[in-house]
Amino acid sequence: MRREIPDLPRSWPSSYPAHRPVAADVSRRLDADAEAEHGVPSLVLMEHASCGVAAVAALLSHPQDRIVVLCGPGNNGGDGYGAARFLASWGRTPRVLRCSRRPPPQADAASEVRWSALETEAEDAWADSDLVARAVGEADLLVDALFGVGLDRDLDGPFPGWIEVINEAQALRLAVDIPSGLDADTGHLRPVAVRADVTATMAMPKEGLVTHPSGALHAGVVVEVDIGLPGPLHRPYCV
């Protein structure tokens, strides 16, 4: 029997204001403008995102729960590695799966991989075809950090199969920014997507989470995470 989702704040922290949904390119532009116009490094944004995901994961789980973090090949994966590090530093014991041929090459995500390794060693799901199924089957909480708003193609390789395994699990499912496999703008599946119980979305919701029935169905409860965007950037989108 699957665990019920506890009451969650609409935002984390709870004082962070609610925002209207935005397109993926707007989200990326705001991240870039934070550094270009206000001097906030992108790594600072990723650190805030990672901490926010970890905080929501902590709200969804008990101290003894088995948490599995599935990290993909890009910056979404970087958020997952960072979240695992925060959880471990808080006394949790997350299990990290590297669900890509190699660690993320992006500079910020690569930093998160290195720092995460100080707390917990990632297991290579690409080299062990059964690892995802075994780990998912033993988990109480799954953190989906496979793909974010940058996904612009249909998933191939092992990813559709892995997502089906995730969706069949009894564990609660927490998506990072947007459920993997969901188009961030349209809410359509590419061709499958994680059916999240909760989505910790970065800074503000993405249009795909609300503009199509499949988006809302796969997003579950949406929690907006403050990633440290300066007020002049995020306040115009407040509701």
Arithmetic mean of pLDDT, 79-98: 98
Q: What percent of the chain has pLDDT over 90?
A: 97
CATH topology of domain 11-228: Rossmann fold (3.40.50)
- The helix/strand/coil state of 28 is helix
Which tens digit of pLDDT belongs to each residue from 103-131? 999 999 999 999 999 999 999 999 998 99
pLDDT at 108: 98
Residue 148 corresponds to which tokens in the numbers above? 């974010």
Q: Indicate the pTM of the whole model.
A: 0.97
Which tens digit of pLDDT belongs to each residue from 155-198? 999 999 999 999 999 999 999 999 999 999 999 999 999 999 99
129 versus 12: the higher-pLDDT residue is: 12
Residue 179 corresponds to which tokens in the numbers above? 């459920």
Q: Which residues pair with 11 in a beta bridge?
A: 224
Distance between CA 81 and CA 67 in Å, rounded?
Answer: 13
Nearest to 53 by CA among 189, 208, 217, 201: 201
Task: Please list, in sequence order, all residues whose beta carbon lies within 8 angstroms of the beta carbon of residue 117, skipping any fewer than 6 positions away.
Answer: none
pLDDT at 4: 93
Arithmetic mean of pLDDT, 81-105: 97
Asked if 166 and 197 count as a contact pair (C-beta separation under 8 A), the reply is: no
Distance between CA 121 and CA 123 in Å, rounded?
Answer: 7
Angle at 226 between CA 35 and CA 215, to 5 degrees: 105
pLDDT at 123: 98
Phi first, then psi: what are they for 91, rounded to 5°?
Answer: 95, 0
pLDDT at 2 over 90: no
pLDDT at 1: 74
Which tens digit of pLDDT belongs to each residue from 35-75? 999 999 999 999 999 999 999 999 999 999 999 999 999 99
